Every structure is written in structure tokens, then in C-alpha cells.
Amino acid sequence: MIQNQNTKQMISFYPGPSKIYPQVREFMLEAYDSGILSSNHRSTEFISLSEETISLMKEKLNIPQDYTVFYTSSATECWEIIGQSFISLNSFHIYNGAFGKKWLDYRNRLNPNSSGHSFGIDEIINLEKTPFSTTTEVLCLTQNETSNGTQVSNTILTEIRQKFQESIICIDATSSMGGVVLEWENADIWLASVQKCFGLPAGMGLMICSPKAIKKAIKFGHNQHYNSLSFMTEKMQDFQTTITPNVLNVFLLNRVLKTIPNISEIHQKLKARKEVFLSLCEEKKLFQLSENEATLSDTVFAIKGTPEEIEKLKSEAKKKGILFGNGYGKWKNTSFRIANFPALENAEWGKLYSFFKNV
């Protein structure tokens, strides 16, 4: 494995954009040398790269063969695709943080036939107590809330799937896809972007759809937009996109997928680091925003403190070459965040532990 060439570079624990896989340097040179970056996106060169990349996605992330993988430009674009492709349907959002809230806000701007319910960051979603709208046709939820370091478990997602069998369930897994095992059958549309757990440069999103989502998008036939799901599906039959895609990022994703192990192995590594981190927190009296361990994310940790404490810790860490992520949304000044993403190596986590051991 290629080591970081620039030893002066800080180790970024920012939860997105975050540390990219060190192999990306070589892959960028390979992309340049291969000529793919000058190829037309309707050419056989691009189409075979795209086809192989999608098959690697399915293999490494255990995605069912009958799900469709799309390249988009960002996770935010995926919110928009879902909103306009199912514009006539009632949309219900369950959220506990800034990203989930933003998704609802954007949906509301397209069409106000949407509503939501916010739950507490210590709370496990309780389906009995959630005031769903009577016609929940599209159900949106953030699996890993990057703004506050909480996650929704597979168990809850399974319960939701069972309760809403007819609905189109959409899950934002931007900061967990590529890092944790997701049970794909629990939802119809999964979305993410590559600058988080995929360890790639920013500028591309991924959307993974069940056969039901595709069928419904075609049935409703909303196709006024370049990125309407029905139109995207048509192009994806030949592994193509409606726009000129981010060919470099498709290439880098392809090469990264070839080098990483299966998602279950990656998830094990992240869970092991989380365990160590949780005991370190206990020892050093560090507290996460959520006080309920059952809600804590596997991939993003949000530590709370006073603005002064946080500033001090951040600047001391910086001297040791460690970059923490700022707080986000309403927790901006009262927390800082640490990414537990796969591209971070265990040795880098070791540096983080020794930093905390010595403060």
C-alpha cells in the first residue's frame, strides 16, 4: 500500500470531506495515463468502466443483483431526485438532526405535501409514538446523522419496512454507506456521496434503488427533469448517465472497490475502533452528544464541550497533526466531530488514542 507522500499533511478526522484512501494518488495517475479522462461518456471505454464499477459495488457492499446503482453529483442531488420523481406523493420525514431536517426543507420547497416528525438524539425511534401522516407514500429517514453522531439500527429499519410495506422508503446513508453493513431490502432508495466512507475526493453521489422504486418512478412518469428517476433509469440500462458524469470519480471508485475487502470486514474494523473509543471516553470523561449508547453512530462521533474547551482541544490536536471536525448545525459551537471512516488506518487511530490519553 502506498503511504502518504506528504508527511506534513494533517490526519483529517473530519467527517466529510475526509481523509481519502492513500492509494488514490496512484489511481489518479493511472486514470490519467489510461486515457479514460478524455473518453466520451457514451464510448465503450466508459460504458465498460461503469458496468464493472457497478458490479464491484454490488459485490463488495452485498447489494442485491436486482437493485439499480446510479451515479449522481451529490447526496443533496439525490434528495432532489427523490422529491421531483415522486412529487405527487405525500412525503413523510423522520429526523433528529441537521441533515434530516434539511432534506425535509428542500422537499417542502418543491411541494408542500410533505411533513415530518423530529425525535430526540437520545431516542430510539418508536413506531407506536411516531405521528405518521395517514398517507405515508414516501418515507424519508437519515440512517446516520452526521451532524450529531447518531444512527438508526438495522432492527428499527426492519420494523419500519414491515409497517410500511407499500411505501417507498428512502434512506440517507451518506456517512455510513461504504463503512457499515446495510440491509438493502429494508429500503427502496439509498443515497450517499463518495467523500465520506468511500474515502474519495468530493463530487459524486450514489443512489441505489429497489425494483419497486424503479417501477413506481416509471409508473408515475414524472420526467420533466434531466435527473428524473425514470429518465435516469432509461440511461442506466446501458450503464450510462443523463449528464456527463464525474468520470475520474467513477474510475477512482472502481479502483478503490477493487482494493477493499467485503463490507462485513470493513464494518468489523470500524466497530472494534468504536469499542476502544467508547472506553477511552469513559476513562477520560468525554461525552458524546447523545447519552444513549444504543443510538451512537459507528462512523461519526460527536463529542460535546464548552466552546472554550473545544477550541483548546482542537488547537492542541492540530499541533500533533490531528484535525478534528467542527460541530454542525445547532451543535456547531458545543461539539466537535471525529470520523471513524474506513480510509483512516488503525495506526492513525492509534495517534488519536495517544493524544487523548495525554490530555
Ligand X SMILES: *Cc1c(COP(=O)(O)O)cnc(C)c1O
Closer by beta carbon to ligand X, 300 or else 313: 300
Q: Is 174 in the site for ligand X (CB under 6 A)?
A: yes
Interface of this chain with ligand X, residues 263 to 322, rule: CB under 6 A = none
In angstroms, the CA 3 to CA 1 distance is 6
How big is the site for ligand X, counted in residues (CB under 6 A)?
Answer: 12
Closer by beta carbon to ligand X, 46 or else 198: 198
Report helix, strand or coil for 167.
Answer: coil
Binding mask 25-44 toward ligand X (x if CB under 6 A, else -) reads --------------------
Q: For 335, what's the count of Cα atoms within 13 Å in the CB-facing half-sphere?
A: 22
Q: Binding segment for ligand X among 81-89, 172-180, 276-284, 340-348 (CB under 6 A)?
A: 172-180
Closer by beta carbon to ligand X, 50 or else 146: 146
Beta-bridge partners for 115: 92
**Residue 247 in contact with residue 198, Cβ under 8 Å?**
no
Three cell numbers, residue 166: 407499500
Report helix, strand or coil for 326.
Answer: strand
Q: Is 178 in the site for ligand X (CB under 6 A)?
A: no
Three cell numbers, residue 323: 484535525
Three cell numbers, residue 97: 438532526
Distance of CA 293 to the CA centre of its chain: 21
In angstroms, the CA 93 to CA 116 distance is 4
Nearest to 277 by CA among 352, 178, 359: 352
Number of H helices and number of E strands within the chain?
Answer: 11, 14
Closer by beta carbon to ligand X, 23 or else 193: 193
Closer by beta carbon to ligand X, 106 or else 355: 106
Torsion (CA) 120, 122, 125, 130 in degrees, nearest 10 = -30
Q: Which residues contact 343 (CB under 8 A, 6 or more apart)?
A: 18, 19, 20, 21, 22, 199
Q: Is 179 in the site for ligand X (CB under 6 A)?
A: no
Q: Least distance from C-beta 319 to ligand X, angstroms?
A: 28
Closer by beta carbon to ligand X, 198 or else 356: 198
Binding mask 80-99 toward ligand X (x if CB under 6 A, else -) reads -------------------x
Closer by beta carbon to ligand X, 117 or else 258: 117
Q: Is 16 in the site for ligand X (CB under 6 A)?
A: yes
Binding mask 207-226 toward ligand X (x if CB under 6 A, else -) reads --------------------
Q: Least distance from C-beta 204 to ligand X, angstroms?
A: 8
Q: Is 327 in the site for ligand X (CB under 6 A)?
A: no
Single residue of 136, 193, 295, 299 touching ligand X by CB under 6 A: 193
Q: Are strands 91-95 and 114-118 parallel, antiparallel or unpaired?
A: parallel
Closer by beta carbon to ligand X, 300 or else 317: 300
Interface of this chain with ligand X, residues 102 to 161, rule: CB under 6 A = 142, 146
Please count the other Cβ atoms lying within 10 Å of the Cβ belonging to residue 255. 20
> Footprint of ligand X on this chain (CB under 6 A)?
16, 74-76, 99, 142, 146, 172, 174-175, 193, 205
